[in-house]
A = this chain, B = another copy of it.
Amino acid sequence: LFVSKNGVKQAMPLELQQKHQSNSFTPISEKHLSAFRSMLGVTHVLTENEQLIDYGHDWTEDLLFMPEVVLKPNSTQEVSQVMAYCHAQLIAVTPCGGRTGLSGGMLPVYGGVMLSLERMNRIIDIDTKSLQITVEPGVITQTIHEAVEAHGLMYPPDPSSKGSCMIGGNVAENAGGARAVKYGITREYVLALEVVLANGDVIHTGAKVLKNSTGYNLTHLIVGSEGTLGVVTQIVLKLVPKPALEYTLLVPFAKAVDACKAVSAVFQHGIVPSAIEFIEKDALDFGQQYLGMNTYDTTGIEAHLLINLDGNHEQVLVEQSEALAELFEHMGGGEMLFASSQAEKEALWKLRRCLGEAVKGTTIYKEEDTVVPRAELANLLSYIKQLGREHNFYSVCYGHAGDGNLHINIIKQNMSETEWKEMLPKAIEKLFQYVVQLGGTLSGEHGIGYVQQRYMPIAFSSVELELMRNIKGVFDPKGILNPGKILNPSLT
């Protein structure tokens, strides 16, 4: 078990080693590998060091935990066989999809088996009459978008990583995206699941229906449980008719706080955009630099709002655009840019979607996925800046403002390693305490995973955490499934 940074292997720091030593999982031996090879075929059992490094990280900071083996099952039955075997042998199993997560949900922190669902990437059925799609977990989210759009339909959730993330991971983390503000998050589209439990049992939750009051809602318990309660092997998703038209607008604000305030005003005026994103000046600058462009002048501009409106009637979108232009003018906004071509729209959204990578590529940072009631955005933004002055850090913010979901990037800059490590948890604790005080919570769409566990007691009482632990115990009494996630505040 190693931790490595930037591909350079190094022994896990002693402190972390001690924390992880408490586990009693079985190390994987040649005997186990033979068993896996006969279940899945030799080519689907990876043990080369480079392969293990590949599967040892996602997009979360620079963390890397080496799995002992990577398994690539191709069917529910194979997943079930692997789970039954690992359950009997007490081997840790961490499921993974596209490995684009931002909370380390798929990091194999106890080594063991990395169960990659990538080969289970079939679209099983598109029901164009009842507007549903049935997929395996390894389908890339954008592939679903394209497949259903060909039928005039839409699968709304669109995480920024949509070109690489897999639907199974979206379900595990309850992913959101820009369109969530109008259409809702992944949870709201999952109608039914096939799930392999820790012991290999296969269950089916939900049904192919739009409303369901039949027993406890296991579907919604699995969604967002980050692979700790079961391995999702099939997903039925709701679809909606695809709107024919989409407008994209960009509005500069001299004051970032005014941009935040304008967001809730939009909804108060009865307009529900299909996206309304907040982008701080430096985020836009980082993004332009990353893409090698210089299109948008941010001089004197603290923030932009990037807005999509969709619908089927040109006249309605024109009226809404005009109403927004007028509203923003009264709220401190500058001249509204109307993306007149498809290319311009796409360029703007490419810029928005690259912000995470752009910030990551520029500097060492820590990202928080805060979410608050929509109207508290301005307060949240003011607070993070104040906190930065107190703790001497610089921050760059952007996010799905219509949902009150602000991605806060705390940047290391020239801070010493010691100073950074000491400052960070204190500052984040204060930030989350404030967020919870505003009625918000720790994560809007990235999950708790590995890196946010220590902050869980800020959002939940010991009774609430105990309930969650007991639910975990119901699904996975031996604790072999994605161990070391969500509910281990002392681990990180």
Tell me the A residues contacting B by CB distance below 8 Å: 127-132, 152, 173-176, 180-181, 184-185, 187-188, 197, 201, 203-218, 220-221, 223-225, 229, 240-242, 244, 264, 267-268, 270-272, 312-313, 315-316, 319, 369, 371-376, 400, 403-405, 436, 439-448, 456, 459-461, 463-465, 467-468, 470-475, 486-487
B371 touches A207 (CB 8 A): yes
CB contacts (< 8 Å) of A442 on chain B: these are 214
B205 touches A464 (CB 8 A): yes
**Distance, CA A371 to CA B210, complexed state (A):** 8
B316 touches A313 (CB 8 A): yes
Question: Which of A268, A400, A461 has the most B CB atoms < 10 Å from its CB?
Answer: A268
Q: 14 A–B contact pairs at CB < 8 A?
A: A152-B270, A174-B211, A174-B212, A208-B439, A208-B440, A209-B439, A212-B371, A216-B221, A218-B467, A218-B468, A240-B272, A313-B316, A315-B315, A316-B316
A441 touches B209 (CB 8 A): yes
CB contacts (< 8 Å) of A214 on chain B: these are 441-443, 447-448, 456, 459
When A207-B441, A208-B373 are in contact, do A128 and B268 touch as well, CB less than 8 Å? yes
B459 touches A215 (CB 8 A): yes
When A and B form their complex, which 7 residue pairs have the shortest distance between CB atoms, in order from nearest?
A: A208-B439, A129-B375, A220-B220, A130-B373, A207-B441, A241-B270, A470-B474
Residue from the list B130, B316, B475 in contact with A374, Cβ < 8 A: B130
A272 touches B216 (CB 8 A): no
B373 touches A218 (CB 8 A): no
CB contacts (< 8 Å) of A448 on chain B: these are 213-215
Closest residue of chain B to A265 (Cβ to Cβ) is B129
When A207-B371, A404-B209 are in contact, do A215 and B444 touch as well, CB less than 8 Å? no
A443 touches B316 (CB 8 A): no
**Distance, CA A456 to CA B214, complexed state (A):** 8
CB contacts (< 8 Å) of A174 on chain B: these are 211-213, 217
A221 touches B224 (CB 8 A): no
CB contacts (< 8 Å) of A180 on chain B: these are 210-211
CB contacts (< 8 Å) of A197 on chain B: these are 463
A468 touches B211 (CB 8 A): no
Residue from the list B204, B213, B217, B313 in contact with A313, Cβ < 8 A: B313
CB contacts (< 8 Å) of A132 on chain B: these are 373
When A220-B221, A464-B218, A468-B218 are in contact, do A268 and B129 touch as well, CB less than 8 Å? yes
**Distance, CA A436 to CA B436, complexed state (A):** 42
**Distance, CA A403 to CA B210, complexed state (A):** 6
A445 touches B213 (CB 8 A): yes
**Distance, CA A419 to CA B214, complexed state (A):** 28
A212 touches B444 (CB 8 A): yes
B215 touches A460 (CB 8 A): yes
Beyond contacts A130-B373, A131-B374, A211-B445: 15 other A-B pairs, Cβ-Cβ < 8 A, are A180-B210, A187-B217, A188-B188, A207-B441, A209-B405, A211-B444, A212-B224, A213-B448, A214-B459, A216-B229, A217-B221, A217-B224, A241-B268, A313-B316, A467-B475
